[in-house]
Amino acid sequence: MSTEKLAPHWWHNAVVYQIYPRSFNDSNGDGIGDIPGIIEKLDYINKLGANVIWLSPVYKSPMDDNGYDISDYCEIAPEFGTMADMERLITEADKRGIKIVMDLVVNHTSDEHPWFIESKSSKDNPKRDWYIWKDPKEDGSEPNNWESFFTPKAWEWDENTGQYYLHLFSSKQPDLNWANPEVREAVYDMMHFWLKKGLGGFRMDVINMIGKPSDFPDATIFDSGVAGWEHWANNLLCHQYLREMHEKVLSHYDVLTVGETPFTTTLDGRYYSNPARNEVSMIFHFEHMSIDREEHNAVRKPFDLVEFKAIMSKWQDDLYQKGWNSLYWNNHDQPRAVSRYGDDKEYRIISAKMLGTALHMMSGTPYIYQGEELGMTNKHFTDISEFNDLMAKFHYKKMLERGLTPQKAIEFLNYFSRDHARVPVQWSNEANAGFTSGTPWLAVNNNYMQINAEQATNDSDSVFHHYRQLIELRQGDEYGDVIVYGKHQLLDPEDADVYAYLRSYNGKMLLIVANFSKKSQTRDYDFSLKKVVLNNYDDEVSSLSALSLRPYQATIFEVE
Ligand code: GLC
Ligand code: CA
């Protein structure tokens, strides 16, 4: 039984609420969510109990990738508001004990950023080396065979200067050259600019891709991921830059930092988040996000709970006292959790609560994506014209090229499109779900009459109130330590329907049992029951032997 504790940090028992500003709440009727709209809803977030908000990018941007393409790091996009609005958001959040974490998107800028405009202007421009420019191969082709997430190739030809530039994302998102110390200094200055305004930290966009090897070798791995990742993901340079960033910036503030890091194993997780290495507080790994899809091939795989549990518990165990986990089921790049891992029809409410329970009792910092606390579902799209996301359009094209019918391609996007998460938040049963008085930039899901925040906050049996209780448990005196610092142990790894695990700390033990299936189950747990801490059904439970579990039941027990 564990009694140890890492050196404590304020973010150890924090719960983060992610806002995708464009889709959160529109205050002025232009159909686009904005910062004043967020301020209007701070009391709602406070009621839920989250004490950190991660704000997806609100910086000035041509919005090729909805703000992940920044043209000025020190300005707010006019559609989102002004700098004064942003400062007011920080102050108003602070009054409610909520810290604001901003998105730091520094693997790339927009091609409309003045740095890139200069860099592109001539080969001898002082900012030429701020981006990654290379000569073509002798036959005129790309410098190497790397692929991009949003286009077939990672290199874009510039006729004017006769060189290619690198972009791991869209051609409007050129990669910065982190090998250039001037670039790094410019990023650090910008970070100080924001942190001095009282930010709670940064979520660092694809931060594990900033280190590019100086020889730009060809990719050799083509069966998983975007070709080239073996060279630019998680390399030593990236770790070195992060330590420098820590020394020059982060060590001067007490902040939460979370790196978005695809292609990471638990060993990488320890490298990034071990406190002694001075890199980041925690990372987002992606292992459980590829459980039901072959990312690269746009192919769906069946969900396998045994594999899912193995992944989640490996992260729980391998980082125990050696790093820190972030916990998430979805975000602005992923489908809605209840549609993906639960049942978004008959058992929508029950299974959304089950998922919340299964995640929030784990060790690490939980992240709630806007609308998850309402059990918001995927939307049903019927035609490619209904999508906004550039990645959906790219995948669609790739699938048609592979010979899929448009219907099959849409079927895939109906599982995995990023637009599911970007559909506006459903606030009420009024027109456009109360999101806007105008025309929303992306059409709302028509189930808002049933699923909305007004209904959920008034109904004590809602997903919202279940999440509120989960947060209360994590932050409360009675179970806080065991939930935040307890040791984790997976039970019955081969059980294909039920996810059960233990948390223990200083003599206290919690047993979490979550039925991931639509069928009733019966299981035996060899513990004596002290208390039912939280249950998503009202049934009385008196013993843990022959415990009957209803569809998607999830219960937290205190046991001995
Ligand atoms: C990250 C963001 C995603 C964005 C990409 C490029 O994965 O989460 O939304 O498209 O980086 O910045
Ligand atoms: Ca607006």
Give the model's pLDDT for residue 224.
Answer: 83
Nearest CA to 368 among 51, 41, 96, 91? 51
At 269, list the tokens.
């997780």
State if residue 68 touches ligand 1 by the CB under 6 angstroms criterion.
Answer: yes
What is the C-alpha separation between 557 and 176, in angstroms, rounded? 50
At 385, list the tokens.
């014209």
The percent of residues above 70 in pLDDT, for the chain, comes to: 99
Is 158 tagged catalytic? no
At 551, list the tokens.
């569809």
Examine the pLDDT at 557 and tell me if it is beyond 60.
yes
User: pLDDT by residue (tens digit) across 172-221?
Assistant: 999 999 999 999 999 999 999 999 999 999 999 999 999 999 999 999 99
The reply to whether 10-108+182-466 and 109-175 are identical in fold is no
State if residue 556 touches ligand 1 by the CB under 6 angstroms criterion.
Answer: no
Helix ranges (DSSP H) in 196-296: 229-232, 236-248, 266-273
Distances (CA, A) of 71 to 76, 111, 112, 201, 227: 10, 7, 5, 21, 27
Say how many Å lie between the CA of residue 61 and the centre of ligand 1.
14
State if residue 369 touches ligand 1 by the CB under 6 angstroms criterion.
Answer: no
Give the model's pLDDT for residue 299.
Answer: 82
Give CA 43 to chain center in angstroms: 23
User: pLDDT by residue (tens digit) across 308-345?
Assistant: 999 999 999 999 999 999 999 999 999 999 999 999 99
Which residues are CB-contacts of 204 (< 8 A; sequence separation ≥ 6)?
104, 106, 257, 258, 259, 260, 280
| Alpha-carbon torsion (150, 153, 159, 162), positive or negative | positive
Give the model's pLDDT for residue 1.
Answer: 47
Helix ranges (DSSP H) in 443-479: 453-458, 463-475
Which residues are CB-contacts of 183 (< 8 A; sequence separation ≥ 6)?
130, 176, 177
Distances (CA, A) of 353 to 55, 113, 337, 373: 24, 43, 11, 9
What is the C-alpha separation between 267 and 473, in angstroms, rounded? 30
Q: Which amino acid is at 516?
A: F
At 389, list the tokens.
């996301």
What is the C-alpha separation between 166 and 154, in angstroms, rounded? 6
Q: Dihedral, CA atoms, 318, 494, 299, 206, nearest 10 degrees?
A: -10
Examine the pLDDT at 403 and tell me if it is beyond 50.
yes
3-class SS letters over 399-412: HHHCCCCHHHHHHH
User: pLDDT by residue (tens digit) across 203-217?
Assistant: 999 999 999 999 999
Examine the pLDDT at 296 and tell me if it is beyond 70.
no
State if residue 226 touches ligand 1 by the CB under 6 angstroms criterion.
Answer: no
At 204, list the tokens.
């660092």
Which residues are CB-contacts of 380 (< 8 A; sequence separation ≥ 6)?
414
Distances (CA, A) of 279 to 101, 110, 190, 210, 473: 17, 26, 18, 14, 29
Residue pair 20/421 in contact (Cβ under 8 Å)? The answer is yes
| pLDDT: which is higher, 223 or 352 | 352
Query: Is residue 163 helix, strand or coil?
Result: strand
User: pLDDT by residue (tens digit) across 253-286?
Assistant: 999 999 999 999 999 999 999 999 999 999 999 9
Residue closest by Cα to atom 2 of ligand 1: 205
Examine the pLDDT at 295 and tell me if it is beyond 70.
no
What is the C-alpha separation between 64 and 88, in angstroms, rounded? 27
Give the residue-averaged pLDDT of 84-101: 98
User: pLDDT by residue (tens digit) across 429-449?
Assistant: 999 999 999 999 999 999 999
Q: Which amino acid is at 311?
A: I
Residue pair 317/488 in contact (Cβ under 8 Å)? The answer is yes
Give the model's pLDDT for residue 2.
Answer: 54
Give the model's pLDDT for residue 164.
Answer: 98
Nearest CA to 369 among 415, 418, 410, 414? 418
Give the model's pLDDT for residue 504.
Answer: 98
Domain 10-108+182-466 = CATH 3.40.50.970: no
Query: Is residue 557 helix, strand or coil?
Result: strand
Break the chain into its structural domains and give their ranges.
10-108+182-466, 109-175, 485-559
Q: Nearest bound ligand to CA 110? A: 1
Q: Which listed residue (260, 279, 287, 292) is catalytic?
A: 260
* Residue 108 alpha carbon, nearest atom of ligand 1: 12
Is 205 tagged catalytic? yes
Domain 109-175, architecture per CATH:
Alpha-Beta Complex (3.90)
State if residue 206 touches ligand 1 by the CB under 6 angstroms criterion.
Answer: yes
What is the C-alpha separation between 48 and 351, in angstroms, rounded? 19
Query: Is residue 442 helix, strand or coil?
Result: coil
Which residues are bridge partners to 284 per DSSP?
260
Residues with CB under 5 A from ligand 2 (ion): 26, 28, 30, 32, 34
Domain 485-559, architecture per CATH:
Sandwich (2.60)
* Residue 105 alpha carbon, nearest atom of ligand 1: 12
What is the C-alpha separation between 205 and 103, in angstroms, rounded? 7
Give CA 12 to chain center in angstroms: 18
Angle at which helices 266-273 and 236-248 cross, to 10°: 20
Q: Which amino acid is at 423?
A: V
What is the C-alpha separation between 423 and 335, in angstroms, rounded? 11
Q: What is the DSSP letter of 176?
A: B
Examine the pLDDT at 481 and tell me if it is beyond 80.
yes
| pTM for the whole structure | 0.98
Q: Nearest bound ligand to CA 394? A: 1
Examine the pLDDT at 4 and tell me if it is beyond 80.
no
Q: What is the largest CA-CA distance in the chain?
A: 77
Q: How does 118-153 read in b/e, with b if 16+ C-beta sit within 10 Å?
A: ebbeeeeeebbebbbbeeeeeeeebbbbbbbbbbeb
pLDDT band with cut points at 50, 70 and 90 for residue 297: low
Q: Which residue has the tokens 């890199």?
A: 279
State if residue 292 touches ligand 1 by the CB under 6 angstroms criterion.
Answer: no
Average pLDDT, the chain: 97
364 phi-psi bin (left φ>0, alpha ψ -120 to 50, beta other):
left
At 459, list the tokens.
């109904």
Residue pair 182/142 in contact (Cβ under 8 Å)? The answer is no
